[in-house]
Structure 1
Amino acid sequence: MPIDKVHIGRDTGTRTLLVDRGRLRLFAKATGQTDPVYTDLDAAKAAGHPDLPVPPTFFFAVSLETADPFTWLTDLGIDLTTVLHGEQEFHYHRLAHAGAELTATARITDVYDKRGGALEFLVTTTSITDHSGQLVAEAVGTTAIRRPAEVNA
């Protein structure tokens, strides 16, 4: 069954994450960051940061900070075996550092299909704010859903 556009604007959840140095170091290593400001506190302070800065793309991790980050998809009746992470983009507004408490609030911002409905796409926009409610970044993600041939017949 096609995804109804009535879901555009639907909240897909709010998650909060306390950013710690260990998590930032692991993420920097996993993503191949070679600049020591992401892993060494002294290097970060020498570069003018109060603590380790959040590496690029880390904000995607905030949106997964829950026991079941894909509940919103199953709530829409989507079989998770047909899902593929299609695209991700980030819009940065300010830096965040270790010690920050970040809150990610996500909503569906678009639904569309291609190939006569064989592929459907859900676009979500996640606003990441700090403890004071100031916008730190926005993450826009596209999830691709492959529909069985009989759905498209």
Structure 2
Amino acid sequence: MALDHAILDVATALIDADVERGRIRQFALAIGETNPIYRDQAAARSAGHPDVLAPPTFLFGLELENSVVFADLAAHGVDLASVLHGEQRFRLFADVHAGDRVQFQTRYVDAYSKAGGSLDFLVRRTTVTRDRTVVAELESVTVIKNPAGGVA
């Protein structure tokens, strides 16, 4: 079934999330980051940070973990078994550290098809704020495989 473009009218509720030191450490280890400012509070403070620094892509995981993106897709007729991660990009405006509380506000900003309708692409943009100041903009593209060129 082709993507229901009414999803472009969806803006999620503001989602609060705490940035936890242990989660940052875990994420840094998972991505192979060896710089101690991402794992050790003393090293981060020695480098001028108030606490352990979150790697740039940490916010994607934190947002996905706290979001309702899969519920949004399912509510708009998407078979979740047909979903692929397409790409992601981000712009950072300020560092995020352990102990911060951030907010995520997500909108679906574009949808288009390729390959004769057998692939739909959905662009999701999330603004990340801390104390009402934008610290990052995250953008991801979800690819949705449609059987038979999107014909239901």
Instruction: Establish whether TM, by shorter chain, passes 0.5.
Output: yes
Q: What is the number of residues matched between the two proteins? A: 152
2:92 is the counterpart of 1:63: no
Task: Measure, in 1, the Cα distance between the counterparts of 2:20 and 2:134.
Answer: 19
For structure 2, the residue ranges without an aligned partner over 5 or more in a row are: none
Which residue number in structure 1 is paired with residue 141 of structure 2? 142
Share of identical aligned residues, percent? 43
For structure 1, the residue ranges without an aligned partner over 5 or more in a row are: none
Q: Is the 8 A contact 1:15 1:65 kept in 2?
A: no
- Residue 148 of structure 1 aligns with an amino acid whose one-letter code is P
2:9 is the counterpart of 1:21: no
Offset at residue 63 of structure 1 (A): 1.6
Q: Which moved more, 1:141-150 or 1:66-75?
A: 66-75
TM-score (norm 2): 0.92
Offset at residue 17 of structure 1 (A): 1.1
Q: 1:150 to 1:142 in 2, by over 3 A?
A: closer
Offset at residue 152 of structure 1 (A): 4.1
Which residue number in structure 2 is paired with residue 30 of structure 1? 30
Q: Residues 83-102 of structure 1 correspond to what in structure 2 (within 5 A)?
A: 83-102=83-102
Q: Is the 8 A contact 2:118 2:149 kept in 1?
A: no
Q: Which moved more, 1:67-76 or 1:104-113?
A: 67-76
What RMSD, in angstroms, separates the aligned Cα atoms of the two structures? 1.8
Q: 1:101 to 1:142 in 2, by over 3 A?
A: same
TM-score (norm 1): 0.91
- Residue 120 of structure 1 aligns with an amino acid whose one-letter code is D
Which residue number in structure 2 is paired with residue 117 of structure 1? 117
For the residue of structure 2 that corresponds to 1:8, the secondary structure is: helix
Task: Measure, in 1, the Cα distance between the counterparts of 2:55 and 2:136.
Answer: 12
